[in-house]
Amino acid sequence: MKKPIIGITSSYVDDRTLQTSYDNIRSVLRAGGTPFVLPNVTNQDHMSNYVNTVDGIVVTGGGDIDPTLFGEEPHPNLGLIHPDRDVFEVDLLKEAMKQDKPILAICRGCQILNIAAGGDMYQDIYTQMDHALLQHTQRAPRSHGSHFIEVTEGSLLHSISKQKKYKVNSFHHQTVREMAPGFNVIARSSDQVIEAFQSTKHTFVLGVQWHPECMTDEPSVRLFKAFIEACEKKKAITNET
């Protein structure tokens, strides 16, 4: 069987350049997928073609998200946004969920996934959450797990990681607030920040707030392998129909 094709979303560097971290590409390759970087094209006519072309989607990290997408004005601590990327990813995710394509949404990716499904987010956790927080923008190498998460027993993440508590890295000041309908929170940090969630309506739609593509620990490796396996199964089912 041919290796599954994995669409990887990209960030804007400026108005002329797109990029994605090679960590995203390396993690897909290592897990057995064929990486395919997606441009941020906001023409709705292309969405079904993109989703039909790939067997699964990795929604990557990056800058902040336009708060008007979930009905809010910009907070003073809102960082750089790229509206075209936001629109592209919302439309892409809606189409991918419609087709039940496997999705692994990472950091910013999990936030835009929640918004696409009808949830919202904190624009700045340090000023909008009303209790003391951990350091969620770590000052350590990207491969270092800086804080622990507690994983819900019996969840998709628990079945993948085989662990109820382990360390993850952390590079964010925004996070999911109100969970979208049809999704369950499946991991939190000790300060109750949402660290992972899964769809209850799809075969494999998983959002994580950290960056597993930058890590080589067993849970991170297993996460990408499980995602690729889900893509292979979806590809096989699609080819049968």
Distance of CA 221 to the CA centre of its chain: 16
C-alpha–C-alpha distance, residues 77 and 213, integer Å: 27
C-alpha–C-alpha distance, residues 36 and 28, integer Å: 10
Residue type for position 22: Y
C-alpha–C-alpha distance, residues 5 and 51, integer Å: 10
Q: Convert the pLDDT of each residue in 40-96 to its tens digit.
A: 988 878 899 999 999 999 999 999 999 999 999 999 999 999 999 999 999 999 999
Query: Who contacts 203 (Cβ-Cβ below 8 Å, separation ≥6)?
Result: 100, 102, 230, 233, 234
pLDDT the model gives residue 76 = 97
State what percent of residues in the chain have pLDDT above 70: 99
Domain parsing of the chain, residue ranges: 5-240
Active-site residues: which are they? 107, 211, 213
Q: Convert the pLDDT of each residue in 124-144 to its tens digit.
A: 999 999 999 999 999 999 999
- For residue 152, what are its two tokens? 């819900």
CATH superfamily of 5-240: Class I glutamine amidotransferase (GATase) domain (3.40.50.880)
pTM, two decimals, is: 0.97
Confidence class for position 28, pLDDT limits 50, 70, 90: very high
C-alpha–C-alpha distance, residues 37 and 19, integer Å: 9
C-alpha–C-alpha distance, residues 58 and 109, integer Å: 8
